[in-house]
């Protein structure tokens, strides 16, 4: 089974807008792919959900976090990576993916997408993942 890490933008898109990110998240819920995450990635998810543009209260954020936790396999990240210089917070996805022996990071962030492949981990968009793995 393929092991994936979802960038925050993909996770939020899956929850609020659907499309290809939702299709990837549905595969996670169906047990067809394994979603890996870390405490750092969860904290980033909560931080972004707290942006005023989403208009969510902490009481509204908690159910989203709890829903995601049902499907996540948490990885304890022990090493720090400094690959993404333009947006250092993106390094948390590389760290989790590397320590979790992940096949893919699924992202819409150009800082990560421009890397393309990091130590055998493919960094691609949700649609490209679905096509490459034969889900669409």
For 64-121, write each residue's pLDDT tens digit. 999 999 999 999 999 899 999 888 899 999 999 999 999 999 999 999 999 999 999 9
pLDDT score recorded for residue 43: 97
- Give CA–CA dist 100/65, Å, rounded: 20
At residue 85, the 3 state secondary structure works out as coil
Q: Answer whether residue 49 shows pLDDT above 90.
A: yes
CATH of 3-132, one of 3.10.270.10, 3.40.50.300, 3.40.50.1010, 3.65.10.10: 3.40.50.1010
Q: Answer whether residue 41 shows pLDDT above 90.
A: yes
Tell me the two tokens of residue 90: 């993106």
pTM exceeds cut of 0.85 = yes
- Give CA–CA dist 83/117, Å, rounded: 12
At residue 66, the 3 state secondary structure works out as helix
Q: Answer whether residue 18 shows pLDDT above 90.
A: no
Q: Where are the domains of the chain?
A: 3-132
């Amino acid at each position: 089974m393929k092991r994936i890490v979802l960038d925050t933008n993909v996770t939020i898109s899956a929850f609020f807008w659907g499309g290809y990110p939702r299709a990837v998240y549905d595969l996670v819920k169906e047990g067809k792919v394994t979603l890996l995450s870390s405490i750092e990635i969860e904290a980033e998810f909560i931080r972004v959900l707290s942006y005023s543009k989403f208009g969510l209260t902490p009481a509204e954020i908690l159910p989203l976090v709890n829903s995601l936790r049902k499907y996540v396999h948490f990885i304890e990240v022990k090493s720090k990576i400094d690959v993404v210089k333009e947006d250092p917070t993106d390094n948390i996805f590389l760290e989790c993916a590397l320590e979790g022996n992940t096949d893919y990071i699924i992202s819409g962030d150009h800082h990560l997408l421009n890397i393309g492949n990091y130590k055998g981990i493919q960094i691609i968009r949700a649609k490209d993942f679905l096509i490459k793995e034969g889900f669409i």
